[in-house]
Amino acid sequence: MKTLLDRLERAGRFAENTALVVLVATMIGVSVFQIINRQLLGSSFSMSWADELVKLIVLWLAMVGSIAACRDNKHIRIDLVTHILSGAIVSWIKIIVDIFAAAVCAMIGWQAYRLVREEASWGDTVLTDIPLWLVHAIVPIAFALISYQFLVRVVKLLHRLFKPEQAEAAL
């Protein structure tokens, strides 16, 4: 079971990192081509969609980047108390905070899902013919994955608290 979870985690990490690289490369490529087109080519290529594409890529970068930041525990965290205290109390504080963060992300994800579902009924499109709801679907997906990652972290912290010898052997 552990090897399956390890494989899933590696696959998720690979997918996130690949998505980040592709999104950043696409955003840079489109932006640089826009500059060259405007400054050197006298706007000879019609790229009315380029600004909108870059905005959508920024949304996707923010969401995928948030997933990756949470995965690596590099997200913004206010943790003054954990620097003052030590031992098991710090683990319990982290567990409580991560449960709260998971709940908040799950609620945001649910509300974003409801909005995306409503957008689907509107029939709006972006980049000429892509449904708007499809582009915005990254928001509820990202918050669901972030919530999941917080819950995984809670399980790992609880495992370390109650079975520290097994947790250290697994590392």
Span 104-151, pLDDT tens digits: 999 999 999 999 999 999 989 998 899 999 999 999 999 999 999 999
> How long, in residues, is the chain?
171
Could you say which of 59, 76, 93 is where a domain stops?
76
Q: Are residues 52 and 112 in the same domain?
A: no
Q: Are residues 86 and 170 in the same domain?
A: yes
Alpha-helical regions (H) of 40-170: 50-71, 80-84, 88-122, 132-136, 138-162, 164-170
Q: Are residues 168 and 85 in the same domain?
A: yes
What total of structural domains would you count in the chain? 2
Provide the pLDDT for residue 75: 78
Q: Are residues 104 and 159 in the same domain?
A: yes
Provide the pLDDT for residue 8: 83
Q: Are residues 131 and 161 in the same domain?
A: yes
Q: What is the DSSP letter of 125?
A: E
Provide the pLDDT for residue 79: 72
Could you say which of 44, 76, 108 is where a domain stops?
76
- b/e code 127-142 from CB counts within 10 Å (16+ = b): eeeeebbebbbbbbbb
Q: Are residues 88 and 16 in the same domain?
A: no
The C-alpha R_g of the chain, in whole angstroms, comes to 21
Of residues 4 and 131, the one with the higher pLDDT is: 131
Could you say which of 60, 76, 92 is where a domain stops?
76
Instruction: Give the pTM.
Output: 0.84
Residue 7 pLDDT grade (very low, low, confident, very high; cuts 50, 70, 90): confident
Residue 137 tokens, joined: 């679907």
**Three-state secondary structure call for residue 79:** coil
Q: Are residues 26 and 83 in the same domain?
A: no
Domain extent for 59: 1-76
Q: Are residues 92 and 57 in the same domain?
A: no
Contact, 144 vs 112, CB < 8 A?
no
Contact, 146 vs 70, CB < 8 A?
yes
Q: Cα(63)–Cα(146) distance, rounded to whole angstroms?
A: 10
Q: Are residues 42 and 108 in the same domain?
A: no
User: 39-91: per-residue pLDDT in tens?
Assistant: 888 878 878 888 999 999 999 999 999 999 998 888 777 777 777 777 788 88
